[in-house]
Structure 1
Amino acid sequence: MRLAAKLVLLFLVALLLIVGIFSYLTIQQNRQLAIAEHEKRASDIAATLQPSIQRAIAENKAAEIQQLMSQSAQLISQTRIRWVEFDSAQGNRPSVPRELIVTRRVTTICQPDPTGREFLYTYVPVEVGPDSDRHAGIEIASPNDDANDRIQRSLVSSLVALFCVATLSGLVILVGGFLMVGKPLNQLIEKVHDVGHGDFGQPVQVHSNDELGRLGIAINEMCDQLSQQRSKLQAESATRLATLEQLRHAERLHTVGRLAAGVAHEIGTPLSVVSGRAELIASGQLSDDESKESARTIQAEANRISTIVRQLLDFGRQSTPDRSPQNITELIQSTVNLMKPLLIKQTTKLNAQLPSQAILCNVDAGQIQQVITNLILNAAQSTDEDGQVTITASQVDATRPEDSADVAQKYCQVQIQDNGAGISDEDLQRIFEPFFTTKDVGQGTGLGLSISHGIVQEHGGWIDVQSERGSGSNFSIYLPMVQENDLENV
């Protein structure tokens, strides 16, 4: 409706301009017509009086000329007839300023009299004599009331016509604009809003052969294309996510393989205890109390073996990502317990310096454990004999590197520091690239850090690396902490 109102307003302005120009031209035409009629009438009167005036001039009877003017004025209603001398300073001087009169032809001038009433003054020059330098003529004046009445009637007619045409045209444009423009345009606007909210289903119904109809067809075609593209993107995204999850699981299994040697060594000790105790019981040389004690020892070592195997299976099991508030310190401690046997075999010391209070983050426990495991294994591989890897956890106020202007928020910072060879500046720029590795062939896939980086980013965090060649490396994981209002729901 706003567009229709604008069209009506534009039409009315144009119509008002046209009527105004027409009225102005009509008024000017009426004025010229009134002047022409008065001039013709005055010329006829002057032509009738001129022979008598010239005879009186020839006989030098000036009084007779004035008497002739008075008699003629009495015969013609609402007309004043005077004998004027154009150059006279007083007496028979013209009623209008001398400079407005052309003495050698008929001149008509419109001017108000002293009372304010508008008169038409026509001056018809009359030859006084061939040798005379006097300029005289007949002044014929009459009110301009007919012309003013005509102009007033013309204005009233124009205004009435303008009102009627404007009203009728406004109604036609409003109704036609609503049906032909407003309603289809509202449908197009609603459809655009639906597209903005992701609804491409219902096509817009604009049944017209004009530009709006073609626009509606174009929008429907665009929606069909967007719907197809969205379906294609969803399918590709699902495939990408599935592939990414498979890569993560493959990397996890690769890590499980690397852990197997340490786990085997860790299981070997309790198995030897179990075997020795079982042989003693089978020999029958133990008393009842000693047999019971050996049985309890066997049970304890079996539970220890079961715990180690369960931790390894939990780490390697492929599962659907499931985020929930997790205590990061417990998650780190569980990972350290799983990693220690392997690092002991490699003569690398693993230290965990964890706070006593819980640090809660909304994470997928398996994915974050995979990140920590990858970083610990990388740290251990970068060290020589008697290497040292330290893992810490704390609460910090930080801002994302790309949003340094934002307000700092609370993050859990997990630092994994080693005293190994460090990373060169050139390699430091590429460590998170997929398939980039500095290890020997067969020692790594080049996906560990890339997958870890992606997992942390998906959790709303980031990984910061500080390293110097020959001075070790420090990997810092930042994970958003659970907000206080979310803690109430945990």
Structure 2
Amino acid sequence: MRLFYKVYIFLILMLIVILAGAGYISYRREVSLFNEDMKKDALLLGNALSGMVEHTWKVSGPEKALELIRDANTKERSIGIRWVSLDFPAAGMEAPTVPLKEIAPLLQGEPVSLTMKNANRGLWRFTYIPVPTEAGAHRAIELSESFVLLDQYMKNSLFHFILTAAMILLAAGGVLWYHFKKWIHQPLALFTEKSRRIGQGDLAPDLVVMGRDEFAVLGQTLNDMCRDLSASLETVRRENRRRIEALEQLRHSERLATLGRLSAGMAHEIGTPLNVISGRSRMIRSGDLDRDEVVAFSAIIEEQAQRITKIMQGLLDFARRRKPDKTPQDMETIVKQVLDMLAPAASKARAVFKVIRHGDIPKVPMDTIQVQQVLTNIVLNGIQAMEKGGQLEVELDVERKSHPEADVAAKAYLSIRIKDEGKGIPAEHLQHLFDPFFTTKEVGQGTGLGLSIAYGIIEEHGGWIEVDSTPGQGTCFTVFLPF
């Protein structure tokens, strides 16, 4: 209801301004009317009294005339009446209250009515009516009336004005609160709740707003938006599933391509134990061996069969398609599995493996097959880069690094540094190394997708790959994985 209070405060301010303006105008009008009424009443009373005083002066003498004025002053409670002389302005009972220069028209026989503020008694109206008496004398009746009644009237009016304004504001606030809650607050509460549910993924078009006003139109628009978002989200999910399936197919194809590159070495690696098994089997079947020799040859056959099983199991695990499954794994074990699988290719290329571990290596949450694919691709590239043979090092360590593509603080990562002694990579090729279909190999020896797929896999694991190469000295790939 904070919006209601803002609207209500604005309404109060507007009403106060309007009522204050109307009150001020009414106050000025009342003062003006009251002042005019006082002036008219004083002139009427003064003129009537002037005629009576003039008549009494002529008929009964000055004493009777002055007695008449005193009687009139006694009877009038709100108006003071005095007999003043304009010929003696210095002081005395008959001197006018207002200075002579302010009432000069009296000397020409014209009545004068004006207001004057008395320092001790407030604002007063003084009215002077000339009264002709003996020749050469200037006499007048002074009528004085205080504005106290006006002040009291205006105070009472102000009180009633404030009371009326307060009642109007309270009544307006009550009516506004009722209609605001019914027509604005309740629809806004519905919109707020619906927006919160949309943010949480609830796209059901179930918002109901009664009426035909703008809120009803907005509610219908939100429902239409939910339908569109739901349809778009389903499309995105469908396309994402297709993309993932295509990506898995691409990665599987790359694994099969890698197996093809290893096939020649594998045929030799499997052929040797098969020859051994075949030869020992024939000798056992000949029956020319004693019991101890049969046992020894059987052990050799079992050892060679296990060797073949290990090689084939490694190849099958590498080539098998399955759903990604990230679980904590020992990286040193995975590295050794990859190197064992690539040992025939390394032997054929006269390459030697060396594994270096610095301290304790923590387990890392990963998909084993995907990470094996990354390491296999990088190690196999290193083997092929060493045309004259050499040493390929795999170094495991823990380093504090900042992710190059994320604005986050440095933290610990597991690093797998793979260094070969090959011919190196030209500097102009380094920036394109992870681009899809980029390759420097001859046609038929590579798809150009291996390193691109490898980088994508490591990115999905929250890491990245760095490359450092010096032509003629070798290349170093460093894989960083969070743990």
TM-score scaled by length of structure 2: 0.89
CA shift for structure 1 position 49 = 4.3
Equivalent-residue separation in structure 2 for 1:348 and 1:32 (angstroms): 116
Match of 1:121 among 112, 122, 125: 125
Aligned to 1:283: 286
Equivalent-residue separation in structure 2 for 1:282 and 1:67 (angstroms): 172
Aligned to 1:151: 154
Match of 2:347 among 344, 347, 359: 344
Match of 2:312 among 309, 313, 317: 309
CA shift for structure 1 position 259 = 1.3
Q: Which amino acid aligns with 2:465?
A: I
Aligned to 1:322: 325
Aligned to 1:486: none
Aligned to 1:88: 89
Kindly indicate whether the alpha-carbon contact (under 8 Å) linking 1:383 and 1:420 is maintained by their aligned counterparts in 2. yes
Equivalent-residue separation in structure 1 for 2:341 and 2:460 (angstroms): 25
Aligned to 2:30: 30
Kindly indicate whether the alpha-carbon contact (under 8 Å) linking 1:361 and 1:479 is maintained by their aligned counterparts in 2. yes
CA shift for structure 1 position 304 = 0.9
Kindly indicate whether the alpha-carbon contact (under 8 Å) linking 1:70 and 1:81 is maintained by their aligned counterparts in 2. yes
Equivalent-residue separation in structure 2 for 1:287 and 1:135 (angstroms): 174
Q: Is 2:24 the partner of 1:18? A: no
- Alpha-carbon displacement from aligned partner over 1:101-137 (angstroms, at most 9, x marks no partner): 68577433164573x4x553133464989x99x9985
Aligned to 1:363: 366
1:86–1:387 CA distance, 2 compared to 1 (3 A) = farther
Aligned to 1:421: 423
CA shift for structure 1 position 219 = 1.9
Match of 1:167 among 165, 170, 182: 170
Determine helix, strand or coil for the equivalent of 1:401: coil
Match of 2:115 among 95, 106, 109: 109
Equivalent-residue separation in structure 1 for 2:33 and 2:85 (angstroms): 26
Equivalent-residue separation in structure 2 for 1:342 and 1:235 (angstroms): 41
Equivalent-residue separation in structure 2 for 1:98 and 1:216 (angstroms): 81
Aligned counterparts, 1:31-430, within 5 A: 31-50=31-50, 69-82=69-82, 83=84, 85=86, 88-91=89-92, 92-95=94-97, 103=105, 106-109=112-115, 111=117, 114=120, 116=121, 118=122, 120-124=124-128, 126=130, 138-354=141-357, 357-403=360-406, 406=409, 408-430=410-432
Determine helix, strand or coil for the equivalent of 2:372: helix
TM-score scaled by length of structure 1: 0.87
Equivalent-residue separation in structure 1 for 2:475 and 2:210 (angstroms): 69
Could you list the runs of 5+ residues in structure 2 that have no partner in the other structure? none
1:285–1:144 CA distance, 2 compared to 1 (3 A) = same
Q: Which amino acid aligns with 2:411?
A: Q
Equivalent-residue separation in structure 1 for 2:376 and 2:278 (angstroms): 32
Kindly indicate whether the alpha-carbon contact (under 8 Å) linking 2:346 and 2:383 is maintained by their aligned counterparts in 1. yes
CA shift for structure 1 position 297 = 1.1
Kindly indicate whether the alpha-carbon contact (under 8 Å) linking 1:456 and 1:462 is maintained by their aligned counterparts in 2. yes
Kindly indicate whether the alpha-carbon contact (under 8 Å) linking 1:415 and 1:476 is maintained by their aligned counterparts in 2. yes
- Alpha-carbon displacement from aligned partner over 1:400-441 (angstroms, at most 9, x marks no partner): 1234760x3222110111122222222111111111112222
Q: Which amino acid aligns with 2:324?
A: P
Kindly indicate whether the alpha-carbon contact (under 8 Å) linking 2:43 and 2:129 is maintained by their aligned counterparts in 1. no
CA shift for structure 1 position 30 = 2.1
Equivalent-residue separation in structure 2 for 1:349 and 1:100 (angstroms): 127
Equivalent-residue separation in structure 2 for 1:223 and 1:187 (angstroms): 15
How many pairs align?
Answer: 475
Kindly indicate whether the alpha-carbon contact (under 8 Å) linking 1:23 and 1:154 is maintained by their aligned counterparts in 2. no
Q: Which amino acid aligns with 1:123?
A: T
Equivalent-residue separation in structure 2 for 1:165 and 1:359 (angstroms): 76
Equivalent-residue separation in structure 1 for 2:101 and 2:464 (angstroms): 96
Q: Which amino acid aligns with 2:113?
A: T
- Looking at both structures, which has the greater relative contact order when contacts are Cα pairs under 8 Å and sequence separation is at least 6? 1
CA shift for structure 1 position 477 = 0.6
Equivalent-residue separation in structure 2 for 1:264 and 1:328 (angstroms): 28
Determine helix, strand or coil for the equivalent of 1:402: coil
1:243–1:106 CA distance, 2 compared to 1 (3 A) = farther
